[in-house]
Amino acid sequence: MVLIGTFFIAVYTPIFYFLKRRYPKKLKYLLNVHVFGFLISFMFISIHFAGQIGRPQQFYPELGEGIALFIIMVLLVATGFVHRFQLITKKAGIYYKPHFNRYYHVSITTAFYIVIIVHVLINVEIL
């Protein structure tokens, strides 16, 4: 499941970026696929992370980049929610700068790509 979730995130992110500019009329559909696909992927990754944390002590894995990835995924979901539901913050009277959140969301996505590559290389024992 974690491979499916990670593959979806890693592949759909650049596809989404390209298609939303190429077909702006289909942005609502693309955004729905982005939001729900990433939430399902986050669920798969959370199940994988919980399985790693739940291992017995003698088989406990090294969690360095795994914890970093999970924190990155939580931040991606959080910034995605803030960006997606920005109207809620406007109605509540909270000052919101969408370009500022977008900057963080894109930066965290870049960190995701870097850490996932390191994570995979360590687990296949190349690093």
14-23 per-position pLDDT tens digit:
999 999 999 9
Structural domains of the chain, count: 1
Residue 76's domain comprises 2-123
Global pTM value:
0.82
Q: Report pLDDT for 94.
A: 62
Of all residues in the chain, the percent with pLDDT exceeding 70 is 91
**DSSP codes joined into one string, the chain:** -HHHHHHHHHHHHHHHHHHHHH-GGGHHHHHHHHHHHHHHHHHHHHHHHHHHHTS-GGGPPP-HHHHHHHHHHHHHHHHHHHHHTHHHHHHTT----HHHHHHHHHHHHHHHHHHHHHHHHHHTT--
- pLDDT tens digits, residue range 26-51? 999 999 999 999 999 999 999 999 99
Whether pLDDT at 59 is above 90: no
